[in-house]
Amino acid sequence: MTAIAVSTTINGDDVEYLCQPDETLLDVLRNRLGLMGTKEGCGTGDCGACSTIMDGRVVCSCLVLGAEAQGRSIETIEGMAQGAELHPLQRKFIEHAALQCGICTPGFLIAAKALLEEKPDPTEEEIRFWLAGNLCRCTGYDKIVRAVQDAAREMRGEAA
């Protein structure tokens, strides 16, 4: 197989890479670009650990080909904080103890960010269904939902 040349945008930066036609975006991120904050939990689109945002939409990067990123804009966990300043969701996840082992955390943060960009004031039910594609085995989701609610409040400018 011949490698494909891809030009794309990742976390706002222009990026070019070569990848195999059957190579997933997840493998490109992790193995070619060193962006290992995106995790692989299943490789079949069932766990959401590899969630990334592609042109504003949450995707499982294990179900996207590296070649499909051509001309797109990709956001990963590495781009979520603005320099030294954490995104409110990142801060709230730490404050609410919304992570235990933390392997699912990058995927949850990416998915929750996309939720709050689309729906700044989600109900608990909306949060739970939006995040239903992200598996967490440690927390029982309680503290994750509370962290998202609290981050949403802060981002809307409301007092906690």
Partner 1 sequence: MSFDATHQKEQFKSVGTRPLRPDGVDKVTGRARYGADFNMPGQLVARVLRSPHAHARIVKIDTTRAEAVKGVKAVVTADDLPDLTNGDAALFAILDNCMARTKALYDGHAVAAVAAIDEKAAKQALKLIDVEYEVLPHVVDVDAAMAPDAPVLNDAIFTEGVTPKPDTASNVANRSEFGHGDVEAGFEAADFIVERSYKTGQTHQGYIEPHACVASCNPDGTAELWVCTQGHFVYRQNCADLLGLEVSKLRVTSSEIGGGFGGKTHVWAEPVALALSRKAGRPVKLVMSREEVFRASGPTSATSIDVKIGARKDGRITAATATLRYTSGPYPDMWAELGAMTSFACYDLENVKTVGFEVVVNRPKVAAYRAPSAPMAAFAVESAVDELAHKIGMDAVAFRIKNAAKEGTKSSYGPVYGPIGIGPTLEAAKAHPHMSAPLRENQGRGMACGFWFNFGGQTCTDLNINADGTVTLAVGTVDVGGSRASLSLIAAEELGIEYQDVKAVVADTATLGYNDMTDGSRGTFSSSMATISAARNAVEIMRQRAALMWDIPVEDIYWEDGHAKAAGSKYGNLAPLSVKDIAAESGNTGGPIAGHSELVADGAGVSFATHICDVEVDPETGSTRIVRYTVIQDAGKAVHPSYVEGQYQGGAAQGIGWALNEEYIYGDDGRLQNPGFLDYRIPVCSDLPMIDTQILEIPNPNHPYGVRGVGETSIVPPLAAIANAVSNAAGVRMSHIPMSPPRILAALKDAKG
CB 135 within 8 A of CB 39: no
Which tokens go with 122?
């989600």
Alpha-carbon distance of 29 to 18, in angstroms, equals 12
Provide CB contacts within 8 A for 66, sequence distance 6+.
4, 6, 17, 19, 20, 23, 24, 25, 27, 28, 32
Here's the x/- map for partner 1, 123-142, by CB under 8 A: it reads as --x-xxx-xxxxxxxxxxxx
Taken as a whole, the chain contains a residue count of: 160
User: Considering the complex, what minimum distance in angstroms separates the CB of residue 24 from partner 1?
Assistant: 11
User: Considering the complex, what minimum distance in angstroms separates the CB of residue 159 from partner 1?
Assistant: 20
User: Considering the complex, what minimum distance in angstroms separates the CB of residue 31 from partner 1?
Assistant: 9
Here's the x/- map for partner 1, 19-58, by CB under 8 A: it reads as -x---------x----xxxxxxxxxx-xx-x---------
Query: Is 153 a binder of partner 1 (CB under 8 A)?
Result: no
From candidates 28, 59, 67, 109, binder to partner 1 by CB under 8 A: 109
Alpha-carbon distance of 159 to 8, in angstroms, equals 39
Residues binding partner 1 (CB under 8 A): 20, 30, 35-44, 46-47, 49, 76-78, 80-81, 86, 90-91, 93-97, 99-106, 109, 125, 127-129, 131-146
